[in-house]
Structure 1
Amino acid sequence: MTIRYTFGGDEFIFVEISEDMSLEAFFKGTAITRELQRRKVDGVTEICPSNASYQVRYDPDVIEPDTLLALLRQIEVEVADATELDIATRIVEVPVLYNDPWTHETLMRFRERHQDPASTDLEYAARINGKKDIEDFIAAHSDSPWFVSMVGFVAGLPFMFQMVERARQLQVPKYLRPRTDTPRLTVGHGGCFGCIYSVRGAGGYQMFGVTPAPIFDPAQRLDYLRDFMVFFRPGDIVKFKPIDRDTYDKAVAAVDAGTFSLRVRDVNFSLGAFMRDPEAYNRSLIEVLNAD
């Protein structure tokens, strides 16, 4: 894994850990940025980790660019074995109404921007991933956990990386041209990343369903949003749960009443243990989620 460093103007260093997203690249960036944050370096004003990269903003009147670059290279060497990094995080169960009427109506309005105008997003995703039908694809999408590698683009939107061997990861290209509309709380997918659209707006990811669970709320009405208006954090683990329309409607009513909550469990995630046996490790995570 060769790391590439690039200066951005007079105040930024952009660090690309890998051209491909992987949990190893994410953990490498996490280890470096956590150590940089721990050192409280004078002149470093912002540290922004991403999927397989990170960016540092600095004050050139306080720290020389080459000095900061040398420090980042030094930290890179010191955290070379990021596979042994453990993080304290959360696993969250997110209910999803797959193949819902709202994303279906939206995707039908934008078929001319899609690779396959004759099919729906779910039908297309199932076909190009070698699944026998939509139900088979939904099972592949919801059976294994997803790792939140970044939150951004719009407030509260999580980018999620499927926690399975690379050969089993679902891959779906984005629309040929972005839509001008996407329903709020759409569960989408583009490339190797899943996401949840925290607000209504433009977007180019394939649309698979909707969740009733708000993940961004400035009013912070629900219990899991009381600490912060943005729910997800990098390092969170998501387990999607398929639900039917009746369950979805009841959840929406609970959201309106302010009584809806998510199933959330604290967990320690070990990249090394996951890499040694992903399926067994995922089962252990799901057992933690389902424990009373």
Structure 2
Amino acid sequence: MKTRYTFGGDEHIFVEMDEEMSLDAFFKSLSMTNAVRAAQIDGVTEVCPANASFQVKFDPDRIKPDDMLTELKALEKVAEKAEKRLNTRIIEIPVFYQDPWTHETLMRFRERHQDPEGTDLDYAARINGYDSAADFITAHHSSPWFVSMVGFVAGLPFLYQLVERARQLEVPKYLRPRTDTPKQTVGYGGCFSCIYSVRGAGGYQMFGITPMTIYDPAQATSYLRDFMVFFSPGDIVKWKPIDRAEYDATLADVEANRYEPLIKEVAFDLNAFNADIDGYNAKLMEALHGV
């Protein structure tokens, strides 16, 4: 991986670890953003991380752009030696696949889709070599996912599948974005899954919906009283398929502040993961369910 530095005017530097998303690129980006914060460079006003990159905003009256670039390149050497371990949490997220609300929405926007005759799941299954939408759904929820970024829309997580690259699901975005997407839709675009934190425009394929609130600016939801955004970069997610009855029951619990997400603290080790991906994922599942 060769890091690319790009100036954004005279008060931003964009740092890209790699053109492709990978866990190695994510960990290097994470190490660099941590190093930038720890260095407390005079003039830095904001550090904004993304999937395999980050952007630094700084005051050019306090530090010259070229001097800022020199500081960042020096910190890259520190990041390359950083341990690829992360203390994080694994979370079970319920998903009602093939729900009526995203189905109604996707049918309203078929003229913007690559396959106007089918559904988003039918299309995703076909281009990924699966015989049915049910087989694709199984592939989507059977392995854990890594939250590599939160943002674009407030509270929206981007999730990267924890399997070998050859097994990763890939689905392009709509040909033209929709003007509507239900709140808490589980979507897919490129190599990323996501949860739409609010209702609005979107271009990701729609597979289902979760009853679990993930963004609450009023912080009225019981598990969001400490912070309005549920996810953080580094979180690990396991999708749990549910039916309509469980969706309705869970939604009622969320709205009544009775719901508590299943969360366990774990340490993620990238080297151990790469050495035995399926075995490591099995251990993550054991940690989640207390086996």
TM-score of the pair, normalised by structure 1: 0.98
> In structure 2, what is the Cα distance between the partners aligned to 1:16 and 1:231?
26
Alpha-carbon distance in 2 for matches of 1:250, 1:57:
45
Would the aligned equivalents of 1:91 and 1:238 in 2 still touch at CA under 8 Å? yes
* Identity over aligned pairs, percent: 64
Contact 1:222–1:259 (CA<8 Å) still a contact in 2? no
Letter in 2 for 1:38: A
**Deviation (angstroms), 1:10:** 1.0
CA distance in 1, matches of 2:265, 2:221: 19
What is the aligned partner in structure 2 of residue 127 from structure 1? 126
Match of 2:9 in 1: 9
SS in 2 for 1:5: strand
**Does the CA contact (< 8 Å) of 1:90 and 1:237 recur in 2?**
yes
Question: Is the contact between residue 179 and residue 203 of structure 1 (CA under 8 Å) also seen in structure 2?
Answer: yes
Aligned to 1:37: 37
Q: Once the 2 structures are TM-superposed, how far is the Cα of residue 81 of structure 1 from its aligned partner? A: 4.1
**Aligned mates of 1:199, 1:290 — CA distance in 2:** 29
* Number of residue pairs aligned between Structure 1 and Structure 2: 291
Structure 2 gaps of 5+ residues are none
Equivalent residue for 2:285?
286
Report the CA distance between 1:75 and its aligned residue. 1.2
Question: Is 2:160 aligned against 1:164?
Answer: no
- The 3-state SS of whatever aligns with 2:80 is coil
- Aligned residues: CA RMSD: 1.0
Q: Secondary structure at the match of 2:232?
A: coil
Give structure 1 stretches of 5+ with no counterpart: none
Residues in 1 aligned to 2:223 and 2:168: alpha-carbon distance in whole angstroms? 30
Secondary structure of the structure 1 residue equivalent to 2:33 = helix
Partner Cα separation in structure 2 for residue 5 and residue 63 of structure 1: 17
What SS does the aligned partner of 2:281 have?
Answer: helix
Helix, strand or coil for the counterpart of 1:283?
A: helix
**Quick check: 2:221–2:255 contact (8 Å CA) kept in 1?**
no
Name the CA distance, whole Å, in 2 between partners of 1:123 and 1:37.
45
> Matches of 1:100 and 1:93 in 2, distance apart?
19
What amino acid is the match of 1:283? A
User: 1:112 is matched with which residue?
Assistant: 111
Instruction: Give the aligned residue type for 2:140.
Output: H
When normalised by structure 2's length, the TM-score is: 0.98
Q: Report what 1:93 is aligned to.
A: 92
CA deviations over 1:158-200 (Å, ceiling 9, x no partner): 0110110000000000000000000010000000000000010
